[in-house]
Amino acid sequence: MSDEKVSRRDLLKVAGVAAAAVAGLQIIQKANASESAPTGGRQWAMVIDQSQCTGCGYCVMACRAHNDIPPDITWNPVIEAGQVGDQKVYLPRPCMQCAKAPCVEVCPVKASYYRPDGIVMMDYDRCIGCRYCEVACPYGARSFNWKKFDGPNPAVPEWGEPEVPRRPRGVPEKCAFCYQRIDRGLQLGLEPGVDEDATPACVVACPTGARVFGDLNDPNSAVSRLLKSNPHFRLREDLGTAPRVYYLPPKAEG
């Protein structure tokens, strides 16, 4: 009698452990597969030529206007990065649109996600404002809306007209390669990186052509050709985040 009871109990135990193991494995598999790096046909990337950048900040202002960013937030700062010869060197820093983005990995609600074309997007309507992404980003690319942005945008209309809705208070915001310009441009049959209306505002605004935008999968795009023929680097490549913003280092000229 008691033997039978024990064996049933053991059976239940084994079944329980097996069920837990299956469930655990599935979660692990899902966790590994979830939000894998994007593999769409077109992969947008930006090349920034540091030898061309004069630090004028036009890109910052155009970005503020087209994306309706509050004055105390910068998606795309231009940072002084030392000197080569007697030339000051600048490093503009948009969101890196990492192929393995820490922010996408840590977001508890998938408010940060990959578009098939590689852009790391924010769903501002889903975000709960926990700021884990902000803590996780190695590039400081995210800014939290500590207060509501109401009132006029000082960059408008001088630098352009807003193309996206303002973000609400309580969510972090960041650069998304002006996805709205890309999407609308493609609908109109334009080519991002070639036609201005389909290209990120900072690229269009740059007076020296230091910024180049295009499709990494297209060997004839401007970005592909620049990367093929020039030495280049990405920020903190050691972290394995695989950014889609490439830099051409400044050239030391006599």
Positions in the binding site for another protein (CB under 8 A): 27, 30-32, 34-35, 79, 81, 91, 93, 102, 105-111, 126-132, 134-140, 142-148, 168-172, 233, 235-236, 239-240, 247, 249
Smallest distance from the beta carbon of 110 to another protein, in angstroms?
4
Q: Which is nearer to another protein, 56 or 239 (CB)?
A: 239
Smallest distance from the beta carbon of 62 to another protein, in angstroms?
22
Cα torsion for 179, 180, 186, 190, to the nearest 10°? -100
Smallest distance from the beta carbon of 39 to another protein, in angstroms?
17
For strand 172-173 and strand 120-122, is the pairing parallel, antiparallel, or unpaired? Answer: unpaired
Q: Which is nearer to another protein, 85 or 108 (CB)?
A: 108
Smallest distance from the beta carbon of 239 to another protein, in angstroms?
5
Q: Which is nearer to another protein, 29 or 208 (CB)?
A: 29
Q: What is the SS3 assignment for the chain?
A: CHHHHHHHHHHHHHHHHHHHHHHHHHHHHHHHHCCCCCCCCCCEEEEEECCCCCCCCHHHHHHHHHCCCCCCCCCCCEEEEEEECCEEEEEECCCCCCCCCHHHHHCCCCCEEECCCCCEEECCCCCCCCCHHHHHCCCCCCEECCCCCCCCCCCCCCCCCCCCCCCCCCCEECCCCCHHHHHHHHHCCCCECCEHHHCCHHHHHCCCCCEEEEECCCCCCHHHHHHHHCCCECCCHHHCCCCCEEEECCCCCC
Smallest distance from the beta carbon of 25 to another protein, in angstroms?
12
Q: Which is nearer to another protein, 70 or 118 (CB)?
A: 70
Q: Which is nearer to another protein, 108 or 207 (CB)?
A: 108
Smallest distance from the beta carbon of 205 to another protein, in angstroms?
23
Cα torsion for 119, 163, 134, 39, to the nearest 10°? -10
Smallest distance from the beta carbon of 67 to another protein, in angstroms?
17
Q: Which is nearer to another protein, 20 or 194 (CB)?
A: 20
Q: Which is nearer to another protein, 55 or 138 (CB)?
A: 138
